[in-house]
Amino acid sequence: MALAELFLIAVGLSMDAFAVSVSLGLSLRRVSLKKAWIVGWYFGFFQALMPMIGYGLGSRFADRIAFLDHWIAFVLLVLIGGKMMKESRETHRAAGGSEPSLGWRPMLPLAIATSIDALAVGVTFSFLEVHIIPAVTFIGITTFSLSMLGVKIGHVFGSRYKSGAELLGGVILVCIGVKILLAHLGVFDF
């Protein structure tokens, strides 16, 4: 997988975490580097962990379904991207009231929820024989960076960018899924 493709996947996967980070930034009274780092760490870590788990699961079964791997990759990426595009159209509101906690109890479910899609991408990576350690490291660092940025953007600019970020992430994943399918079908030689 080319670096450009991996970058687009990393950005696409990061958009859910970015959107939640923007929401957290909206809710925080004061944003500090420490608070942004905590949010980035949770989201980046789980965004790297989940594809690793998916890769392990996919590797166990890849030889049994190798003739379908491009279709599986296509379907997973289109479903994930479509879900993200649908969610981008839903109304997102900042939580009112007290400032949200950045402790492990509220952050762990958020980190897991925003990285479930990455589990499916990890399965896809096993079919594509991606070098998983550099890939998940890149995804984790990208998510960490965008999540920290999201906290600041949410605090400064408000909610107008959240849905656009999710929409863009979904479009990127769908396009990569289509590209994988077309390449495996021989329509294009990427």
* Residue-level pLDDT at 3: 85
Rounded Cα–Cα distance for residues 104 and 52 (Å): 22
Whether the predicted pLDDT of 145 surpasses 90: yes
Say if 150 falls within a structural domain: yes
In a domain, 68, yes or no: yes
At 148 the pLDDT is 97
For residue 180, the SS3 value is helix
Place of tokens 């493709």: 5
Distance between CA 147 and CA 166 in Å, rounded? 13
Query: Does residue 81 belong to any structural domain of this protein?
Result: yes
Q: Give residue 93's pLDDT.
A: 43
Residue 124 lies in a domain: yes
- State which of 11-25, 27-41, 113-127 shows the largest mean pLDDT: 27-41
> How many domains would you assign to the chain?
1
Given this model, what pLDDT does residue 113 score?
A: 80
Q: Which residue bears the tokens 């079908």?
A: 185
Tell me the per-residue pLDDT of 53-84, one tens digit each, with 9 for 90 and over: 999 988 887 667 666 767 876 787 787 777 76
Instruction: Give me the phi and psi of 89, to 5 degrees please.
Output: -90, -10
Angle 13-71-64 from CA coordinates, rounded to 5°:
105
In terms of Cα–Cα distance, which of 3, 10, 4 is closest to 121? 10
pLDDT value at position 156? 83
* Inside any domain, residue 57: yes
Domain membership of residue 120 as a residue range = 3-89+101-184
Q: How confident is the model at residue 126 (pLDDT cuts 50, 70, 90)?
A: confident
Q: Calculate the alpha carbon distances from 151 to 39, 83, 121, 128, 172 in Å.
A: 8, 23, 25, 33, 22
Would you state the pLDDT for residue 103?
86
Tell whether 162 is covered by a domain: yes
Q: Check: pTM over 0.75? Answer yes or no.
A: no
Asked if residue 189 belongs to a domain, the reply is: no
Task: Decide if 48 is inside a domain.
Answer: yes
